Amino acid sequence: MNKYKVEKTEYLQKILDVEAYSKQEAIEQVKKKYNLQEEVLESNDLVKTDIEIFNPNKFISKLDILKEKIDKFNKDRDWDQFHSPVNLSKSISIEAAELLECFQWSNDKYELEDVKEELADVMNYCLQLCNVLNLDPIDIINNKIDKNEKKYPIDKSKGVSTKYSKLWYI
């Protein structure tokens, strides 16, 4: 009998250790277990798995839950009226400046709590802008990383901070 780590992606990811003779049998055991009881996601459950069972109709990530929480916070206060793309962009810039202020007079001395607060503000406004523009933050970040991989090939950019437009002259 083999041991498999099976990832059940339904609402949130949950990893289960399953002993089975085959991957298909492991999948069936997990499906049966999930029909009988609810499981709660813990942060240490997010590990590499051998098998993933994915239900796209029920998948809600931690990011989706966070976006819903932000949306509810704003709706409860009737603040959506102020959240135009231009206003949110301004807010991102302002909060990014406040984040930079945490490091203003020293490169190595800063208050981590202050950094966390300002970084959370920047990310909050970024997620709100994605919401207003109907953009998926995961998709746009992945697309940008794909572009950057082309602009910054490893053989030209490894260990240097040169801008992509000048890499080809090195």
22-42 tens-digit pLDDT? 878 887 877 777 655 444 444
Q: What mean pLDDT value characterizes the chain?
A: 81
pLDDT, greater one: 165 or 79: 79
Give 13's pLDDT tier (boundaries 50, 70, 90): low
For 127, the 3-state DSSP assignment is helix
Stretch(es) of the chain classified as CATH 1.10.287.1080:
62-135
- CATH architecture of the domain 62-135 equals Orthogonal Bundle (1.10)
Element (H, E) at 81: none
Taking 3-state DSSP, the helix, strand and coil percentages for the chain, each rounded to the nearest 5, stand at 55, 15, 25
For 60, the 3-state DSSP assignment is coil
- Structure pTM? 0.64
* Predicted local confidence at residue 99, as pLDDT: 97
* Predicted local confidence at residue 8, as pLDDT: 57
Nearest-10 crossing angle of helices 85-101, 112-132: 170
* 59 pLDDT higher than 90: no
* Predicted local confidence at residue 51, as pLDDT: 53
Beta bridge partners of 17: 5
Residues listed for the chain: 170
Cα 13 → chain centroid: 14
